[in-house]
């Protein structure tokens, strides 16, 4: 159950179906990510979440080639997402960056290409230092993204990531192609209570990143989503792990989830969420969890002079 | 084990199941073809207009090189584009070059219409100043057909045929043909059954290939706003009864009514599924029930691209 072709899917405003679970690949280490992709696909994942910024697309592409050669899956069986990095936001660079991801991933086309952040960096900028910022022109960037889904483009759908309600609203004021997806942090401790209903009303699918709270990443040492007592209680009740409860909660809200792991056991565990259902009553209980945004981005995207966002409130339009 | 095949009026045999390759994503088809060969697909339906003869050719050559298959076990179809009716020999040779083979198993006239020539193999649908498809009214289909016949004598193709011909045009072709068309490839599926045309062809020894045998699935919903027979509740009910999918029922029905089916998929799971139709038989009752769901619905109508309704 819940393997390969049977993975539940959500319909996007483009008519395409995105598999409800995708493999996250941020901070998946070189030398490990290729194996993780192979294991994931063998245990039933059909969706991989990538980005140029993760620096591991080539290794993922090599793994895909092995899988295609071995006849485990074909490209068409898979959903592959990648993201436009902030230093490629100039309209001329958008199709080139897309082609670059497709080339590294060796997958012919993407199913979804996202604007990674509502932040622009200078072309070729390696880091996120104050001098790396470039003036933000989201409209021009989005119009270049729109060209990428025209016939002959290398992606089947386009979307955004890390856009607040206000930033999404502004984009919709000029967008000819409505984003198919907004990929944002979403888990029981940061539920996107404001963004969720807004996206639903606009027909934009919410894809949940860091669905387990990003575990051991350096940004979040102090908050452990999976240690939340409600997750422990429900895990016991449903005979599942806290991670599975957290993932299932998102899926039941209609969000695709992108758990990252490079560990074979955890990869299998994280996809084993389609054989049970959290009751309505238990879903209600998540409402009482205290809310904290974990990936705040203030150390990267907020700068009193160079960034368009002088404060973390401006980055998220107060939704923190 | 070789696939079920039927004998054409040319004396050659043709597998009743093939892989259609229209709209396969460039760069992706290559692996699909290799996997299809491993699964046992031997019949491939291509066309110059699909602009992927080269990719198919590279993949088939690789399959042959790897020992997966021999050329003589393959059945390769491609099609003459509308803009090349006045250049049949050159167009066929161009396709052979692209496909890296020295003969075709079947060469079809893609549509019963000639349009402005734009250069061999460019397969354009050039528009006139009024924005409508630039139709060439100087070449008759009879002339085109006689040029097709020459390909057989020249050894460039084993069989020749027609595509998208109705009863009127098929009858006419039978009248002027020195070599009878071996195949008429037409759109037909449970929502567009065209029983009269199918029976007319079969009666006159012309095999019928069902293009769009799944009604075009999701692709024709997206491209043409079609209604998909795969979502038909009756077909779904029959699928449950045989423990098969609606796609398998549609294909099995096609085979049981003596047509050749060429479903397209780029998904390994579906490539397997679409072949897995030879271990069961639809009973007469179910064949009749399927007959009753016909909607006479053409799902693939190029009017959108040509600004003229050729089926008017
Ligand atoms: N658009 C964006 O800006 C953005 C931002 C962040 C993330 N993302 C995407 O979302 C994906 C997921 O987010 P994330 O990587 O931040 O965090 P996450 O998936 O919430 O958590 C990953 C961490 O949890 C651990 N883990 C995995 N399965 C577990 C389980 N069953 N029980 C306990 N721990 C488990 C992983 O370690 P092991 O690997 O050792 O299992 C890793 O340390 C990313 O990989 C990326 O693709 C996108
Ligand atoms: N002579 C002509 O004028 C003409 C015109 C049209 C077509 N053709 C030929 O006929 C072939 C087939 O026609 P077609 O590709 O238009 O339509 P089709 O084969 O009837 O349907 C293909 C569609 O159905 C989906 N599909 C395939 N297997 C499926 C399954 N088991 N379950 C559910 N969906 C499934 C495919 O998606 P996935 O790929 O995502 O699986 C695709 O969207 C063409 O490739 C071409 O060779 C000829």
List chain A residues with CB under 8 Å of B221: 15
Query: Which two structure tokens, joined as six digits, stand for A190?
Result: 């940061």
Which candidate, B25, B52, B246, B50, places its Cα nearest to that of B163? B50
Cβ-count burial of B7 within 10 angstroms (0-12 exposed, 13-18 middle, 19+ buried)? exposed
Which of A69, A72, A76 is opposite residue B28, by nearest beta carbon? A76
> Is A74's CB within 8 Å of B25's CB?
no
What was the pLDDT predicted at A129? 86
User: Among all residues of chain B, which has the CA nearest to that of A69?
Assistant: B31
What letters, b where the CB count within 10 A reaches 16 and e where it falls short, cover A286-312? beebeeebbbbbeebbbbeeebbbeeb
Say what the pLDDT of residue A187 is.
Answer: 97
Q: Which ligand is nearest to the CA of A207?
A: 1
Cα(A307)–Cα(B186) distance, integer angstroms? 60
Q: Is B268's Cβ below 8 Å from some Cβ in A?
A: yes
Query: pLDDT tens for residues B191-208?
Result: 999 999 999 999 999 999
Q: Is residue B36 over pLDDT 70? A: yes
Q: Which ligand 2 atom is the nearest neighbour of the CA of B265? A: 39
Instruction: Please identify which residue in the block is written with the tokens 């059945």.
Output: B75
- The predicted model scores a pTM of 0.91
Residue B301 has pLDDT above 50, yes or no: yes
Question: Mind giving me the DSSP string for B20-86?
Answer: E-TTPPTTTHHHHHHHHHHHT--EEE--GGGT-HHHHHHHHHHHHHTTS--GGG-EEEEEE-GGGGG
**CB-count exposure of residue B14 (10 Å: 0-12, 13-18, 19+):** buried
As a whole number of angstroms, the distance between CA B202 and CA B196 comes to: 10
CA A222 to chain centre: 22
C-alpha B201 – ligand 2 centre gap (Å): 23
pLDDT at A155: 97
What the block records as the tokens of B259 is 């047509």
CA distance B192 to B215: 8
Cα–Cα distance, B57 to B136 (Å, whole number): 31
**Site to substitute for ligand 2 among B212, B244, B252, most atoms within 8 A of C-beta:** B212
Please, what's the b/e burial string for B56-89 (b: 16 or more CB within 10 A of its CB; e: otherwise)?
Answer: bbbbbeebbeeeebeeeebbbbbbbbbbbbbbbe
State the first-to-last Cα distance of chain B, in angstroms, to the nearest integer: 44
What the block records as the tokens of B179 is 């070599």
Nearest CB partner across the interface for A108, out of B27, B38, B267: B27
Predicted local distance difference test score (pLDDT) of residue B2: 65
Are A96 and A127 spatial neighbours (Cβ–Cβ below 8 Å)?
no
- Residue pointed to by tokens 């997402």: A81
DSSP secondary structure letters along B237-303: HHHHHHT--HHHHHHHHHHHTTEEE------HHHHHHHH--SS----HHHHHHHHTT--------TH
pLDDT at B10 exceeding the cut of 70? yes
Kindly list the residues of chain A whose beta carbon comes within 8 Å of any beta carbon in chain B: 4-5, 15, 68-69, 71-77, 107-109
Q: A191: Cβ below 6 Å to ligand 1? A: no
Residue B232: pLDDT above 90?
A: yes
Residue A130: per-residue pLDDT: 87
The rounded distance, in Å, linking the Cα atoms of A207 and A169 is 18
Task: Answer whether A44's CB lies under 8 Å from A37's CB.
Answer: no
Residue contact A76–B266, C-beta within 8 A = yes
**What is the helix (H) or strand (E) element at residue B163, kind and residue range?**
strand B157-163
ipTM of the shown complex: 0.83
- Radius of gyration (Cα) for chain B, nearest Å? 19
What pLDDT score was predicted for residue A1?
A: 43
* Cβ proximity of A142 and A176 under 8 Å: no
Q: Is B28 on the interface with A (CB under 8 A)?
A: yes
Do strands B19-20 and B43-45 pair parallel, antiparallel, or not at all (unpaired)? Answer: parallel
CA A208, distance to chain mean position in Å, is 6
Mean pLDDT by 10 residues, chain A (320 residues): 76 96 94 96 98 97 97 97 98 97 97 97 89 95 96 92 98 98 97 98 98 73 87 98 98 98 97 97 97 91 91 95
What value, to the nearest 5°, has the Cα angle with vertex B162 and ends B156 and B164?
Answer: 145
Residue showing tokens 């000639």: B114
Position with higher pLDDT, B103 vs A28: B103
Annotated catalytic residue: which of B41, B50, B165, B191? B50
Annotated active-site positions of A, please? 54
Q: Answer for the pair B109, B48: CB distance below 8 angstroms, yes or no.
A: no
Which residue carries 């998909």 as its tokens?
B228
On chain A, the residues whose CB falls within 8 A of the CB of B268 are: 71-74, 76-77
Residue B50 catalytic? yes
Q: CA B309 to CA A6: how far, in whole Å?
A: 40
Residue B46 has pLDDT above 90, yes or no: yes
Q: What angle do CA A6, A12, A15 make, to 5 degrees?
A: 90
Inter-chain CB proximity B35 and A71 less than 8 Å: yes
| Whole-number pLDDT of residue A277 | 98
- Two tokens at A13? 């405003």
Greatest CA span in chain B, whole angstroms?
55
Whether A177 and A190 have beta carbons less than 8 Å apart is answered as no
Interacting residues of B158 by C-beta distance below 8 A, sequence separation 6+: B10, B12, B103, B104, B105, B106, B152
Ligand 2 centre distance from Cα of residue B20 (Å): 7
Task: Tell me the pairing of strands A158-161 and B75-80.
Answer: unpaired
B31 min Cα distance to partner chain A (Å): 7
Interacting residues of A40 by C-beta distance below 8 A, sequence separation 6+: A23, A48, A267, A271
Query: Does the beta-carbon distance from B269 to A4 stay under 8 Å?
Result: yes
CA-based Rg of chain A, rounded to a whole angstrom? 19
* CB A43 within 8 Å of CB A3: yes
Ligand 2 atom nearest the C-alpha of B22 is: 45
Nearest ligand, measured from the Cα of A28: 1
Q: What is the mean pLDDT of residues B50-66?
A: 98
CB B29 within 8 A of CB B23: no
């Amino acid at each position: 159950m819940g393997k390969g072709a049977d993975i539940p899917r959500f319909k996007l405003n483009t008519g395409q179906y995105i598999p409800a679970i995708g493999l996250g690949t941020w901070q998946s280490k070189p030398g490990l990510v290729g194996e993780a992709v192979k294991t994931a696909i063998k245990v039933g994942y059909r969706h991989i979440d990538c980005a140029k910024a993760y620096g591991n697309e080539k290794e993922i592409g090599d793994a895909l080639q092995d899988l295609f050669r071995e006849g485990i899956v074909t490209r068409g069986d898979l959903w592959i997402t990648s993201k436009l990095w902030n230093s490629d936001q100039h309209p001329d660079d958008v199709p080139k960056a897309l082609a670059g991801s497709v080339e590294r991933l060796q997958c012919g086309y993407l199913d979804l290409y996202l604007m990674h952040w509502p932040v622009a960096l200078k072309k070729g900028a390696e880091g996120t230092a104050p001098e790396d910022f470039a003036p933000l022109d989201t409209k021009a960037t989005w119009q270049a993204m729109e060209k990428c889904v025209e016939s002959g483009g290398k992606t089947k759908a386009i979307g955004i990531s890390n856009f607040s309600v206000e930033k999404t609203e502004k984009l919709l004021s000029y967008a000819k192609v409505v984003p198919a997806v907004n990929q944002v942090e979403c888990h029981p401790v940061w539920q996107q209570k404001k963004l969720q209903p807004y996206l639903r009303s606009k027909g934009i699918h919410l894809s949940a990143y860091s669905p387990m709270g990003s575990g051991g990443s350096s940004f979040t040492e102090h908050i452990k989503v999976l240690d939340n007592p409600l997750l422990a209680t429900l895990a016991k009740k449903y005979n599942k792990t806290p991670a599975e409860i957290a993932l299932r909660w998102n899926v039941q809200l209609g969000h695709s989830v992108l758990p990252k792991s490079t560990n074979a056991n955890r990869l299998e565990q994280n996809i084993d969420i389609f054989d049970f259902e959290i009751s309505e009553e238990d879903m209600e209980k998540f409402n009482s969890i205290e809310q904290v945004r974990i990936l705040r981005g203030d150390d990267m995207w907020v700068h009193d002079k160079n960034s368009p966002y002088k404060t973390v409130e401006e980055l998220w339009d107060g939704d923190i | 084990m070789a696939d079920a095949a039927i004998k054409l009026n040319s004396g050659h045999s043709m597998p009743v199941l093939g892989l259609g390759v229209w709209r396969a994503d460039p760069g992706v088809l290559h692996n699909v073809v290799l996997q299809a060969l491993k699964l046992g697909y031997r019949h491939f339906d291509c066309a110059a207009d699909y602009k992927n003869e080269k990719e198919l050719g590279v993949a088939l050559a690789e399959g042959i090189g790897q020992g997966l298959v021999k050329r003589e076990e393959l059945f390769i179809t491609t099609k003459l584009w509308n803009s090349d009716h006045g250049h049949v020999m050159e167009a066929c040779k161009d396709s052979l070059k692209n496909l890296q083979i020295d003969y075709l198993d079947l060469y079809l006239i893609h549509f019963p219409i000639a349009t402005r020539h734009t250069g061999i193999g460019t397969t354009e649908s050039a528009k006139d100043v009024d924005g409508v498809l630039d139709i060439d009214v100087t070449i008759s289909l009879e002339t085109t057909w006689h040029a097709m016949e020459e390909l057989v004598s020249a050894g460039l193709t084993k069989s020749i045929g027609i595509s998208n011909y109705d009863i009127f045009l098929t009858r006419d072709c039978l009248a002027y043909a020195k070599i009878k068309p071996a195949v008429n490839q037409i759109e037909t599926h449970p929502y567009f059954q065209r029983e009269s045309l199918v029976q007319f062809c079969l009666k006159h020894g012309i095999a019928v290939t069902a293009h769009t045998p799944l009604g075009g699935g999701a692709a024709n919903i997206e491209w043409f706003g079609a209604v998909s027979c795969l979502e038909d509740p009756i077909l779904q009910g029959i699928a449950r009864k045989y423990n098969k999918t609606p796609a398998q029922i549609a294909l099995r029905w096609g085979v049981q009514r003596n047509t050749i089916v060429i479903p397209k998929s780029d998904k390994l799971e579906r490539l397997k599924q679409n072949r897995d139709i030879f271990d069961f038989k639809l009973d007469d009752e179910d064949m009749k029930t399927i007959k009753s769901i016909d909607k006479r619905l053409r799902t693939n109508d190029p009017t959108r691209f040509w600004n003229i309704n050729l089926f008017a």
